[in-house]
Every structure is written in C-alpha cells, then in structure tokens.
Structure 1
Amino acid sequence: MIAGADPNVLDIGKRSPLHLAAEAGHHRVVRVILLKGADVDKLTCLSKTPLRLAASKGHTLCVSERLLGRADKDRAGSFLGTTPLVQRGRKQPPRCRQEALTAGADSRRPTLGHYFPFDIAARRGHANILKAFLETGTEVVAADGNGWTALHGAASGIPSLDNRGTIRVLLEAGVNVNAKATCRSLYTPLHLTVDYRVASVGMVGALLEGGADVNARAERDQTPLHVAGGRSNVAAVELLLRCGVDEKLTNDDGDTPADVIGAADHAGHMVDNEADNQRILRMLARAPADMASPRLAGAEPLPPDQGGDRDRKRELQ
C-alpha cells in the first residue's frame, strides 16, 4: 500500500479499498488494509459492510481476516436487514458460516423481515448449515408467534429442493413433527409438504418416518389427504394411503377426501388434471383392499412415475 494513502477513501458508491478487496477475495490485501486502520464496519451506499460482501461471495479467508479485524459479525445491511450469516444460500461454502459462528455470530438474530438465519437455512434446505448452528449451541426455538417452527419452513420449501435432509436434521434436534401453526391454516408440516400439485416424495417420506400424524386436522378439519387430493397430487395420496391414513374422515363440510379431489385447482387446469383425479378416485375406492394386501402392506413408497405405471397396468388388465 502506498505510504500515507488513506485506507478509508471512498469511491462514488461509498466503497472503501477494504470493501473492494473483501468482495474480490484478496485476503492478503484485506490484511494489509486492516493493519493500516481501515474502518471495518463502513457501509456502502447500498448498506453493505466489507464482511457482508466477503460472505456474499463465499470468500472464507477474507471472512476470517475480517473477523480478526474485529468486524461486527451481526451488523445488518440493506433494506432487508440481512446479516453476513444470512448471505448467499447454497453458493456460500459452509466454512464461511462456520467462521462467523465460531466467532460468535448470532444465528437467532432476525432480519428486518423477522426471519432468523436458522429458519432461513431450514427453508432453503441447508442441512449442513443447520448442523453447524446446532453444533455451536444454537437453540431450536419451539415456534414463533404464529406457531410456525423451523420444520414448517423446511416443509414449505418448493418440492424441487427436496429438503428431506433438512427435515431429518430438525427432527433429530427435537422439533415437534406434529406442531400446528396457530395462524389461520392450522397446518402441520405434513399438510404443507403435500400442498403442491407435485410433492417431494422424499420430504413426505421423511416426515412420515419421523412420526407425522397422517390424520392430523387443520383448518376446517382438513386432513393431509384432503389437502393432497385437492391438489390432484397422486404421489402424496398414494404415500399417505400406504401409511394408514383414514380415507373416510370428513372435514367441517362433511366432505371426505374423495369429495374434494381437484378442489384446490384455481388455475383452470381441471382438464389437464382429470386423469390424475380419476386415478386418485380409484385409489381411494380400493384403499381398504390395497391396505389389506400382504403385497402392499408396509411396501416401500414408489416414485410418482412408477405409481402411475402400476395404475395404468391395472386399467389394462
């Protein structure tokens, strides 16, 4: 560094040399600038600290140097109030978060949207990050003001994420698999997981393995089978039936799951979903006989395509 140069000089975006070096991952430059007295918590015009920039790019060594420079590891930036611990999701190496956690970063500090790093990690399916939180003493909060647990967050993640690993970590940590939200829906995690047109079989299976109540009641006395059937979700319906759900239970309107098949289709896809709706209707009609069959009782759940093949073969026989 040039002798006498100001380590805190700012460019038009209010970025100091430390911001630029941290974002670029130049950890040796970061060390030199820190020794020259750079402001470790300076905010850019977008309210980003050097630590937040380093964390957002996954620069582990820079994160380590910044912490040695006594940066505020919990300082929030941007209009969302996100901390370095919340940055970057799957693209951030676990070691980056481990550096912050080891230095005492608060995994229960909320963003301005009242989301906690622990709960964000659960929703995004970061099982390894959750393990790191738990290993550093993070307490799993039972539920928020709406009765929403971290398991609700993991279960509500889009099926393509397949959060089964995250769900298992949370269950091992003692999160209540049958906790009901106290907000309007009264959903359990299982209700949330099957509330998709196409569910993640792995996520549903992880909850069932963890002891989820297949006959749990939600708003209007809906069971998970009501919800799955309403979504025309063949795979979820089959999985629930194999686990002993009572297909005759009625909701507040006196409807069984068979009465509400496809009822949650608000996008005008009834024609497209009709084949699956008919398959679900047949599955529910023969459910008692299927469950009594030694071949099917206790069988491993089939992937959705194989389940469909089985139904089509039966129709041809």
Structure 2
Amino acid sequence: MTDRTPSGPSTGELRALRMTAQRLAGFVEAGDAAAVRSAVEGQPHLLATTTERAGQDGWTPLHVAVAHGHAELVDLLLDAGADLEASTEHGRTPLHVALEFAPQLVDPLLARGAEPDGAAAAYLGDRERLAARLDAGESSVHDDAEISLLGFAALGGSIDAVQLLLDRGAHADDGSLRAAAAAGHPEVVRVLLAAGAQVDHRDPDTGRTALHAAVAAGPGGGREEVVGLLLAAGADVEATTSDGASALDIARVAAARDRPGTDGSPTPQDALVDLLEGAPQAG
C-alpha cells in the first residue's frame, strides 16, 4: 500500500516533486531559459515548489533566478505567475535576495510590484519610508534575521538610513561592518566604527572579518579606502577565516590570478596587497 499525505499525494509523489524542483533550480542557476520555460509551462505548480540553498529552505525558482542575476529568467518566471512575495523560511523575499546579491534587479522587481518593506527602504536610503515602518512597529534590530535592517542599509551605503537605525537601537556590531566593507562604502564604515562596531568581529559561519570581506570583494568602488580605514582602526591582518586564509592570502591569490601574462605587470589588486603588507603585524 502506498502511504498518502492527508492532502492526497503519496510520499513517493512528494519526493518526485522535490527532485523535479531541484532539477528546475539547476536549470535556473545555469540560465537555461528554454528548459525553464518548458518546465513551468508544462508544470505550472513548479513555480511554487521550493529547494534548499545554503542551509535555508523555501527558495522558489524566482529566488534562485534573482540570486544569480538572471534578469531574463526573472521576467519569464514572473510572467508565468511566480509569486513576487514568496518568502524563504527566514522570511526573505526575492527582493531581499536582490538587495544582497543582485542590486541591478532591485528596480525591476520594484517596477513589477515588489513590496518595498523595511529592508528595501534601508537599502535604498528611503529614510521617510523606513521611519514610517519603524513607527508602525517594525523592529530596527531583527536579531533573528539573517541580515539586519542595519546590514541592508550598510549594503546600500545610506548614511541616513544607517544613522536612523542606530538611533532607533540597532546594534552596530551585528555584522553590518562586513556588509559595508564588502560593498565599498567608506563613510558607512566610519559611522559604524564610531558607533562601536568591533573591527575584527567574525562571521560565525565563515570566520571572516570586515577586512576579509573588503579584500575578497576586490579593488575599486572605495574598497582601498575601506581597507585603509579598517587597518587604521586596528584590524588584524593575520586573522584567518574558518578555512585558514588571511586577508593578505586572499589578496595575493587574487593579484596572481588577475596579473596578465607573465611579465609581472601590477594589477589593481596589488594595491590592496601593498596596503596589507605595510600594515603593522600582531605582536
């Protein structure tokens, strides 16, 4: 006898559906528009199926398309009926995913009707909307969120939003310094350090500090200045990630990878190497 869930499908059918959802997620990650179109046209229910990503369940095909920056697939899935407000088990909508991984898709998602909640307001620097959300009862802290409102404001580079959230009780040392460093926002880095963010605060999963985040993101976009600010604040150049890499290790590998040919020509990454090599070492 085949076991069936109260709603009807057998456990085998549910397992098959899950596997099909995983295959669709693979097509989405690969940017295979033809395969994605065929799958959702043939089985529209797949638009609402979810998979796990980075230890977090509830990712729909739309979440995955946004995370990979596939604008064509985002339009395809939305046109097919994907839910723009679907949320993962941690409450992340496709717009939240765009804020973190694909900023170029934020405006298109808003144009398609995504709800600009507190996270979006913080990222976009919409102080008025953010204040209204906070006044209406939205927490400025969100200790249970994967990324705090302050983290989204740091990613977006909005000093006004960062200051508003700090004034409303957000914790400067919640990982937002890493977000600001990775995004290359020196003014936000200054504000967070002045507000008490610990320069060597580590990500609990990866062991990365703000210095690792800035160097891993590469040169340009204000990151050299960010690295200088972090070093001036006492960042530990010798601190290693969970897999044993220091910021200098990361910079040297990137510089070697980016150096054209074999003539030893310097790369923009070499500027970061020079900064790190010239920093005081831990005693």
Larger Rg: 1
Please, what TM-score do these two structures have when normalized by structure 1?
0.45
Which structure has more helix as a fraction of its residues? 2
TM-score w.r.t. the length of structure 2 is: 0.50
